[in-house]
Amino acid sequence: MNTLLLGVNIDHIATLRQARYPGMLDSPNCEPDLLAAAAICEKAGASGITTHLRADRRHIQDEDVYRLRKSLKTKMNLEMGNTPEIVEIALRVKPEDVCLVPENRREITTEGGLDAAGQLDALTPTVRRLNDAGIHVSLFIEPAFPQIDAAVKLHAHSVELHTGAFANTQGEAHAAELARIREAAAYAHERGLQVNAGHGINYVNIAEIREVPYLTELNIGHTIISRAIFAGLEAAVKELIAAMRG
């Protein structure tokens, strides 16, 4: 089994900053520093930094994306909805990876996977433009065969399997969700897609996720930032990487 890579999502650090300093990125008092947080995660062993530039700009701001693009030593994974404005920003920034996700202004965080199968016509030109720009395109989808088939039709490079249902269930339902993830990972791998996963993965359930075959990268944020409150950010990232490797 290949060594799992970790992309650290730093959106929640921006959430903390925006709670006190909205519209004040140039203020000398503006904290916490997103670039410093990203650098700490990289130093601790992260393979990349994930940010979600949402249409409502509730945490990550446009300037964050441009500044991170210049400062990162690893790679940028830009999560984004399929909206014209954000697509244009992605094409200007040219992150190594883009992950297309669903977006609902009322949600706290991304809830559920992108309906790629139901949005082929809308997604096709966006994926084509990103591909033409040399950007690795991923789709954040439910671990379901029709969604994986849609990713193949769209010429995406990878899929990120939504693990939220797995994380939020127990008992037989939890086991069934894990089996669904395993089956989807194998199905996607057989069709030439890189397989990533994310949402709700933490220091406990990582023991099950790390045994899923064909996974390349996990994108994780909330549990790391929560642990960092007590242990510090560098230690929190190192602890999770150690747990990923068993």
Span 126-177, pLDDT tens digits: 999 999 999 999 999 999 999 999 999 999 999 999 999 999 999 999 999 9
Question: What is the structure's pLDDT at 146?
Answer: 98
* Closest to 35 (Cα-Cα) out of 47, 25, 45: 25
Token pair 């690795």 is found at 136
Question: What is the structure's pLDDT at 106?
Answer: 60
The answer on pLDDT for 24 being more than 90 is no
* Closest to 88 (Cα-Cα) out of 158, 24, 135: 135
* Closest to 86 (Cα-Cα) out of 98, 97, 76, 75: 98
Catalytic residues: 52, 79, 199
| Tokens linked to 221 | 């944020």
109 — pLDDT class (breaks 50, 70, 90): low
Calculate what percentage of the chain has a pLDDT beyond 70: 96
Tell me the residue range of the domain where 197 lies. 5-244
Residue 102 belongs to a domain with what CATH number?
3.20.20.70
N- to C-terminal Cα distance for the chain? 12
Burial of 192: CB neighbours in 10 Å, binned 0-12, 13-18, 19+:
exposed
Using a cut of 0.85, tell me whether the model's pTM lies above it: yes
Question: What is the structure's pLDDT at 26?
Answer: 84
139: β partners: 100, 159
| Tokens linked to 130 | 């990103």
Number of domains in the chain: 1
3 state DSSP class of 120: helix
3 state DSSP class of 126: helix
Q: Mean pLDDT across the chain, nearest whole number?
A: 95
Question: What is the structure's pLDDT at 74?
Answer: 98
The answer on pLDDT for 190 being more than 80 is yes
Question: What is the structure's pLDDT at 111?
Answer: 63
